[in-house]
A and B are shown apart, each in its own frame.
Chain A
Amino acid sequence: MDLQAQVRQAARKLLDDKQVDVVIGYEAADEPLRTTPCFIRDSQEVDRLVWNPFCEHNLAGYLQGRQDKAAVVAKGCDSRAIVVLINESQVQRDNITVIGVPCGGIVERKKIYRHLQGADIREAVLEGDVITVKGPGFSAELKVEDFLAECCKFCSHRNPVLFDIKIGEDVPEVDSKEQYHEVARLEGSSSEERWEFFKKELSKCVRCYACREACPLCYCKQCFTDQSLPAWVGKTDDISDTMAFHIMRAYHTTGRCVDCGNCERACPNDVQIRLLTKKIEKDVKELFGSEAGLEIGEKTSMMVYKENDPQDFIK
């Protein structure tokens, strides 16, 4: 039985046994190469659920503030986000059932469109590891592994770290040694070059805050960007304000970001936001030796300290 059928079976059982009120998963979207989050409350409807390499969303965010019992389909990164939310008391462990699915990586739609130079894709069929895309006057066969999202390429936790129901067998972990290569490349350049690079990169940002909305861990009732007293971030399109927003948005994910890539995926202007969160993730690992969302009960790195934390930067 393939993974999709197993997800449906698990969902049906949970709903029939009245163990949960809702199953949060993915369903096919109207457009090709996409799925959309769906909420199944009736076991008659479980066949709407799908599982494929287009299940890009991190559904952890939908668990916040729920009063009912919910089951959620979670990939490796999603399960880590759920762990962070539980550790931060945003989600009650008893109220959720995690349907853990081992993930072989998610396809980045934008890469396919870029590869086909913005072609009008009308249909996409997945068979094994090959996606056949068709549109007016063209058809192409693409390999899933060639179009994996950047965050999936060197993913360090493909298998769920937290689950109540496990779907399928664990997939082999990939070599994640190279996961910081982009950050390391930038670190190797001069301060001037980095400044110019980020100025150019972040000037693409139109401050729609889609990254904030998409992030499963951004749950403040009032975001610093919306505060007016004090107004931490100016509302202008001055690059200084845009940078202040991105510095602080990334900073707020310190020791919490699980690198699910939701922010970058949500960005309408392809700003490489993960370059900032990835840098912080690297520093947290280097300085404090911790990684986000691996264990329930663990506090995030900014909520604890060690007496011998590195302090060579302090006079």
Chain B
Amino acid sequence: MQEQPENWEPRIIAFLCSWCSYAGADLAGVSRCQYPPNIRVIKLPCSGRANPFYIIKSLQQGCDGVLISGCHPGECHYSSGNYYARRRFAIMKRLLEYIGVEEGRVHFSWVSASEGEKFAKVVSEVTEAVRKLGPARRLVKNEFESGATI
């Protein structure tokens, strides 16, 4: 574990499927579940819409963690999007860890629209895991790190 700068808070990007996980996040809010405010949510039509490039691009641009969440198997609104996503991410996660991105930067979860509490739990777990790893350094593009723009 590296030394953490003072007042550092993990920045986590979350790609949520609009039918399950996004609704689950909504329910977490409506039910007043507490979870860390470290995630920035991006709504996708389906977890199958998440291009694996989103993960790479997020890490390159300085996100400390990435979470992709969709419907449970068998519950996809488009019937099979999450099955395809599962295959893609199984390979991508292993490849990223193989190339040296720390285990615990990239997370996946199934959260249904009725699982507000699970969503809060997942976000807490992800935030803790990323907090332990400290700020992302590997794969971060230098110009983003120094604050310059392209």
Q: How far is the CB of B110 from chain A (nearest CB, A)?
A: 6
B141 in complex: contacting residue of A234, A288, A305, CB < 8 Å: A234
Contact between A251 and B92 (Cβ–Cβ < 8 Å)? yes
Complex Cα distance, B98 from A196, in Å, reads: 12
Contact between A191 and B102 (Cβ–Cβ < 8 Å)? yes
Q: A interface, by DSSP: helix, strand, loop or mixed?
A: helix
Known: A305-B87, A314-B86, A315-B107. A196 touches B94 (CB 8 A): no
Contact between A251 and B83 (Cβ–Cβ < 8 Å)? no
Known: A194-B99, A276-B99, A305-B84. A244 touches B91 (CB 8 A): no
Select the residue from A198, A240, A280 with max chain B CB neighbours within 10 A. A240
Complex Cα distance, B98 from A247, in Å, reads: 10
Contact between A199 and B80 (Cβ–Cβ < 8 Å)? no
A240 in complex: contacting residue of B97, B98, B108, B139, CB < 8 Å: B139
Q: How far is the CB of B48 from chain A (nearest CB, A)?
A: 10
Cβ < 8 Å to A, chain B residues 105-130: 107-110, 122, 125
Q: Does B30 count as interface, using CB distance less than 8 angstroms?
A: no
Contact between B138 and A251 (Cβ–Cβ < 8 Å)? no
Complex Cα distance, B107 from A44, in Å, reads: 62
Binary contact readout B4-27 vs A (1 if CB under 8 angstroms, 0 otherwise)? 000000000000000000000000
Contact between A191 and B103 (Cβ–Cβ < 8 Å)? yes
Known: A313-B108, A315-B107. A240 touches B87 (CB 8 A): no
Residues of A within 8 A of B93 (CB): 313
Known: A234-B150, A309-B83. A192 touches B100 (CB 8 A): yes
Q: Does B142 count as interface, using CB distance less than 8 angstroms?
A: yes
Q: Does A311 count as interface, using CB distance less than 8 angstroms?
A: yes
Q: Does A88 count as interface, using CB distance less than 8 angstroms?
A: no
Complex Cα distance, B100 from A173, in Å, reads: 34
Contact between A283 and B91 (Cβ–Cβ < 8 Å)? yes
Complex Cα distance, B84 from A31, in Å, reads: 47
Residues of A within 8 A of B142 (CB): 238, 240
Q: Does B37 count as interface, using CB distance less than 8 angstroms?
A: no
Chain A minimum-CB-distance residue to B61: A240
Contact between B103 and A248 (Cβ–Cβ < 8 Å)? no
Chain B minimum-CB-distance residue to A311: B86
Chain B minimum-CB-distance residue to A197: B100
Complex Cα distance, B139 from A248, in Å, reads: 13
Known: A224-B53, A234-B141, A241-B141. A313 touches B99 (CB 8 A): no
Q: Does A113 count as interface, using CB distance less than 8 angstroms?
A: no
Contact between B125 and A315 (Cβ–Cβ < 8 Å)? yes
Q: Does A307 count as interface, using CB distance less than 8 angstroms?
A: yes
Contact between B56 and A198 (Cβ–Cβ < 8 Å)? no
Contact between A187 and B91 (Cβ–Cβ < 8 Å)? no
Q: Does A287 count as interface, using CB distance less than 8 angstroms?
A: yes
Residues of A within 8 A of B143 (CB): 236, 238
Q: Does B95 count as interface, using CB distance less than 8 angstroms?
A: yes
Cβ < 8 Å to B, chain A residues 262-315: 276, 279-280, 283-284, 287-288, 301-302, 305-307, 309-311, 313-315
Contact between B98 and A254 (Cβ–Cβ < 8 Å)? no
* 8 A-B contact pairs sorted by A residue (CB < 8 Å): A186-B98, A244-B60, A250-B95, A302-B84, A305-B83, A307-B74, A307-B83, A315-B110
Partner-A contacts on B (CB < 8 A): 52-53, 56-57, 60, 73-74, 80, 83-84, 86-103, 107-110, 122, 125, 138-143, 150
Partner-B contacts on A (CB < 8 A): 183, 186-187, 191-192, 194-199, 224, 232, 234, 236, 238, 240-241, 243-244, 247-248, 250-251, 254, 276, 279-280, 283-284, 287-288, 301-302, 305-307, 309-311, 313-315
| Closest 5 pairs (CB-CB, A-B) | A195-B100, A305-B83, A315-B109, A240-B141, A194-B100
Besides the known contacts A276-B95, A279-B94, 11 further A-B residue pairs in the complex with CB atoms under 8 A apart:
A195-B100, A197-B100, A224-B53, A234-B150, A236-B143, A240-B139, A251-B52, A288-B87, A305-B80, A307-B73, A309-B87
